Amino acid sequence: MKLYLDTANVAEIRELAWLVDGVTTNPSLVAREGRPFRDVLREICAIVKGPVSAEVISLDRDGMVREARELAAVAANVVVKIPMTEAGMQAVQVLSRDGITTNVTLVFSANQALLAAKCGATYVSPFVGRIDDAGGDGMAVVNEILTVYGQYEFRTEVIVASVRHPGHVLQAALLGAPIATVPYDVLKKLFGHPLTDAGIARFLRDWQQVPSA
Exactly one of 2, 49, 81, 118 is catalytic; name it.
81
Q: Looking at the whole model, is its pTM more than 0.85? A: yes
Quote the CA–CA distance of 87 and 79 in Å, as a whole number.
18
Among 31-35, 76-80, 146-150, the least confident range: 31-35
> Which pLDDT band, with edges at 50, 70 and 90, does 1 fall under?
very high
Report the pLDDT averaged over residues 141-156. 97
Give whole-number Cα distances, 110 to 12, 139, 140, 148, 171, in Å: 32, 11, 10, 8, 17
- Sorted by sequence, the CB contacts under 8 Å of residue 206 that are 6+ apart come out as none
User: Quick one: pLDDT at residue 212?
Assistant: 83
Query: What pLDDT digit, counting tens, does each position of 92-126 carry?
Result: 999 999 999 999 999 999 999 999 999 999 999 99
Question: Is 49 tagged catalytic?
Answer: no
Rg (CA), the chain: 20
Containing domain of residue 139, as a range? Answer: 2-207
Asked whether the beta carbons of 3 and 182 are under 8 A apart, the reply is yes
- Residue 212 within any structural domain of the chain: no
Report the pLDDT averaged over residues 197-212. 92
User: Quick one: pLDDT at residue 150?
Assistant: 96
User: Quick one: pLDDT at residue 40?
Assistant: 95
Residue % of the chain over a pLDDT of 90: 98
Number of domains in the chain: 1
Report the pLDDT averaged over residues 174-187. 98
- Residue 213 within any structural domain of the chain: no
Give me the CATH number covering residue 203: 3.20.20.70
pLDDT at 134 over 90: yes
